Amino acid sequence: MSQVDDPSWNYCHLAVSAVQQIGIRENLQTVGDVSANSLVYFKSWLGCFVISTELATDHGFPPPMSSAAGRLPGIKSYMQPYFSDEFWARCELQEYSIRVSTILSGISPSQLQMSLLGLLERDLDSLGARVQNPLPQRYHIDFLAAKLRLCAIPLLALKSRETEKSSNTQERAAWYRGFHAAVQLTSIYSSLLTPNTPSLADESSSHGIRKVGGVTVYYPKHLSRVLCIAGMYLTKFLAMGQDLEPQERILARNQIKEVYETFLAWSTEELDEPFRTARMIRLLSRHAEDKISSAYFSDSSGDPSATIVDDGLKIARKIRERTAAIPSTLGLTMRPTNSTIQSLTTNLVASESHTRPSITENSLSEWNDWLPNTYDDLLGFLASPSNNFFDEPWTQL
């Protein structure tokens, strides 16, 4: 559990490649009984289609089976009796995600027209309206995640807290729809926690092993990514919303704390992925309302991050650099002046050169070269024992 490299993309790549190679020999033209071999293949194809698309959209990458998505209606005609209506509704959501990925390919968040975003949201809402109420929990999570990814796009393109005041009504409405989606996701995940999950008091302040009692429940990788997206969105929303109502600000803080607690509850040992993700959320929330650090939450480069998680990683890196640069530059006994901090901030922003590799031309076979894990940066610097500022009591929320 404490490994840094996440093999899920490697396994996903192998499974997708295998099912596509096998599919060359499968013929959908003959209607009739499905053979045992074809049944196994179709189930494998559907599993790869759903999981690979979920993971790809979580990362902001092109879904690997987008070119084969046209086969879904034919496979559904054979396999519909074998799966629930909820599963097929989830497949439709993945089809929608592929369409969105194709439409937005090559479009920067700063170039996206709000009219297009509104059209994509209406398409999503029409899908949700076709599913029985109340929405099944797993479908509801995927639906809210799709909405949150859309609503995060205009927030990623925000250049400063000052420009937030001049943003148009459509953009602000999108931010709030994303905020409500993140709040709903957080509430759903909190309800998933079992009664015997450990409390915050079980978190050790040292870098030893956390003892977790009771049965440990594991969730699909996609679900943990969605919760991380929700947590990152909430911290961004809190940092950029200068004129939030007091109750909205309090709600955002409380929801961030719930995300933090949920990841801690999922952790089985210190420095595993859920534990380090919890600390990442904690770091961002501590600095979201700080006058100096909150400047890092806006995009001043003109090249916004591809996803809200990438954005959070970039912000955390800048915060990390600032906390490391101030003591070494000024000395521990000196209090930095505003002009000095402003100079340091300017230099750090100017030196920020970490950008996501272009994926427009990358084929599926090249994924292993550069897609080990979006969280590698997070896991790398959060694993360092020098991060003792994480061991301070949680006082902000």
- How many domains, in total, are found in the chain? 1
pLDDT at 315: 83
Q: Mean of the pLDDT values across residues 359-375?
A: 33
Q: Is residue 66 part of a domain?
A: yes
The radius of gyration of the chain from alpha carbons, rounded to an integer in Å, stands at 22
Q: Report whether pLDDT(329) > 70.
A: no
| pLDDT band of 37, cuts 50, 70, 90 | confident
Distance separating alpha carbons of residues 242 and 164, to the nearest angstrom: 8
pLDDT at 289: 80
| pLDDT band of 295, cuts 50, 70, 90 | confident
pLDDT at 334: 40
Q: Is residue 46 part of a domain?
A: yes
pLDDT at 128: 93
Q: Mean of the pLDDT values across residues 135-147?
A: 94
Q: Report whether pLDDT(197) > 60.
A: no
Which of 31-40, 105-114, 135-144 tops mean pLDDT?
135-144
Q: Mean of the pLDDT values across residues 277-291?
A: 86
| pLDDT band of 29, cuts 50, 70, 90 | low
Other Cβ atoms closer than 10 A to 229: 24
Q: Is residue 352 part of a domain?
A: yes
Q: Report whether pLDDT(274) > 80.
A: yes
pLDDT at 271: 76
Q: pTM of the full predicted structure?
A: 0.75
Tokens of 14: 């192998």
pLDDT at 165: 54
pLDDT at 313: 85
Q: Mean of the pLDDT values across residues 171-198?
A: 85
Q: Is residue 325 part of a domain?
A: yes
Which domain, by its residues, includes 293? 8-391
Q: Is residue 263 part of a domain?
A: yes
Choose between 144 and 286: higher pLDDT: 144
Q: Report whether pLDDT(279) > 60.
A: yes
Q: Is residue 219 part of a domain?
A: yes
Q: Report whether pLDDT(395) > 90.
A: no
Choose between 338 and 28: higher pLDDT: 28
Distance separating alpha carbons of residues 162 and 379, to the nearest angstrom: 32
Q: Report whether pLDDT(24) > 60.
A: no
Q: Report whether pLDDT(100) > 90.
A: yes
Q: Report whether pLDDT(362) > 80.
A: no
Q: Which amino acid is present at 132?
A: Q
**Rounded-to-10 torsion of CA 365, 368, 371, 377:** -170
Tokens of 365: 């076979």
Cα atoms in the 13 Å half-sphere on the side-chain side of 66 = 18
Q: Mean of the pLDDT values across residues 224-242?
A: 90
Which of 120-129, 153-162, 311-320 tops mean pLDDT?
120-129
Choose between 159 and 281: higher pLDDT: 281
Q: Is residue 397 part of a domain?
A: no
Q: Is residue 1 part of a domain?
A: no
| pLDDT band of 61, cuts 50, 70, 90 | confident
3-class SS letters over the chain = CCCCCCCHHHHHHHHHHHHHHHHCCCCCCCCCCCCHHHHHHHHHHHHHHHHHHHHHHHHCCCCCCHHHHHHHHHHHHHHHHHCCHHHHHHHHHHHHHHHHHHHHCCCCHHHCCHHHHHHHHHHHHHHHHCCCCCCCHHHHHHHHHHHHHHHHHHHHCCCCHHHHHCCCHHHHHHHHHHHHHHHHHHHHHHHHCCCCCCCHHHCCCCCCCCCCCCCCCCCCHHHHHHHHHHHHHHHHHHHHCCCCCHHHHHHHHHHHHHHHHHHHHHCCCCCCHHHHHHHHHHHHHHHHCCCCHHHHHCCCCCCCCCCHHHHHHHHHHHHHHHHHHHHHHHCCCCCCCHHHHHHHHHHHHHHCCCCCCCCCCCCHHHHHHHCCCCCHHHHHHHCCCCCHHHHCCCCCC
Asked which of 105-109, 243-247, 356-360 is least confident by mean pLDDT, the reply is 356-360
Asked which of 129-143, 220-234, 305-319 is least confident by mean pLDDT, the reply is 305-319
Q: Mean of the pLDDT values across residues 263-269?
A: 87
| pLDDT band of 287, cuts 50, 70, 90 | confident
Which of 147-151, 309-313, 315-319 tops mean pLDDT?
147-151
Q: In whole numbers, what is the pLDDT of the chain averaged over residues?
A: 74
pLDDT at 247: 93
